[in-house]
Structure 1
């Protein structure tokens, strides 16, 4: 049985959340958890049974939404609707093309993910794990521009997803992004993930890529949420705004 959040965890403003350090000894059984999914979790187009996943303890899911300037996950809207019907909080991430314009990708992502102010949506997410042949200085500049643009359009501070190996090599272990909450992938099997880039803590931790979750075909990535950032429901129900197309 999973233990729900204690009242001792205070609600923390999102802008200050990245300054928190994860409490020692957090266990997946004690905190909100959920998968991250893409079209790979829809073999032959099969849907995910989000009600079954919710019934077995899934609190949230982080879904691939867009890539570059012209790709939208075919299952994104169906997953979003089914997750909301099941009471699963939704995060949506953008997979960047660092060889393409960041502002255009930011606009494309926001148009497809945050076109309506719907409760149950976690902050924007940028997935940083592939260089597209670009050097660290190009990636760093690209990230600043995309993150700034998305925050301007939505009013919400984005989350950065990465893994220690890629961040150290592909982004030169840059410490320029510590104001953004960190979603880190580290399958080390230990009590805490490795922190990189000067981040003092993490908001989501991808612990494995081999989880088994009822309602989802095959092995899937599994994540836990850091309660030091306050109740997850507050993160998912913070109003945002979209300025795209209103200028």
Structure 2
């Protein structure tokens, strides 16, 4: 996953990039990083209390890749995020050269569901075609998503970027019922939305941000409000405007 700087995210957010939530509450201040093993240089931990104190309310955490890779910091980060009050999304990096159902089962078994407190829905990170032509990749994606939804009980989010979707997925509009997490780093007021999606839900604006508590450059994301009130979407155990307690 890729992007720019924290300053850019703040600038874009301040320009009013976000839609209102279904409750009419602006979501411009609902931001969070996505992290993998790269954000643990030298094996060091992430200070999730520091992340939350800096105002970040969620994070997307890499769980698995293909059929064998598990993020070695997944359990550590999952536990620490919950204690710190940071809502957790988890993602699987797709390897479409391998069958989808076993990958979906591998991911779902590791994350142990996505329905608990502070859980965002599961995420499919789709940015590699595995050499499949568009029709085959579209079929692969349907099968993966259907399996994950059946196993976790929640409709997955799709992460991708415009050019990949327009080429590898032939800009298909078959997935518009799934929330979209789009990567677009060009600094526009809105990201480019492919595939006929009526709206984006998360926007990855940079891969070189900086956050207190994380000892390496990090991707930064913002929530649009397209899925409604963030506290409900993330199963947060408190109410309000979407802000959690520090």
TM-score normalised by structure 2 residue count: 0.84
d(CA) in 1 for partners of 2:216 and 2:114?
A: 32
* 1:202 maps to which of 194, 200, 203: 200
Matches within 5 A, 1:19-30: 30=28
Match status 1:56 vs 2:54: yes
- CA offsets, 1:105-149, max 9 Å, x none? 111111001258521110010001111222212211100001011
Given candidates 179, 182, 203, the residue that maps to 1:181 is 179
Q: Residues 213 and 37 from structure 1, CA distance in 2 versus in 1: closer, same or farther, beyond 3 angstroms? A: same
**How do residues 93-242 of structure 1 correspond to structure 2 at under 5 angstroms?**
93-115=91-113, 117-237=115-235
Provide the rounded CA distance (Å) in 1 between the counterparts of 2:181 and 2:114: 24
| Residue 46 of structure 1: aligned partner | 44
Would you say 1:10 and 2:22 are equivalent positions?
A: yes
SS at match of 1:141: helix
Tell me the distance in 2 between the aligned counterparts of 1:223 and 1:115. 23
| 1:17 alignment partner in structure 2 | none
Q: 1: distance between equivalents of 2:112 and 2:181? A: 20
Unmatched tracts of structure 1, length 5 or more: 13-22, 239-247
Structure 2 stretches lacking a partner, 5+ long: 1-9, 15-19, 237-246
Taking structure 1 as the reference length, the TM-score comes to 0.83
Q: Give yes or no for contact 1:68–1:95 (8 Å, CA) kept in 2.
A: yes
4+ runs deviating over 4 angstroms: none
Cα distance in 2 for partners of 1:200, 1:233 equals 22
1:31 Cα deviation (Å)? 2.6
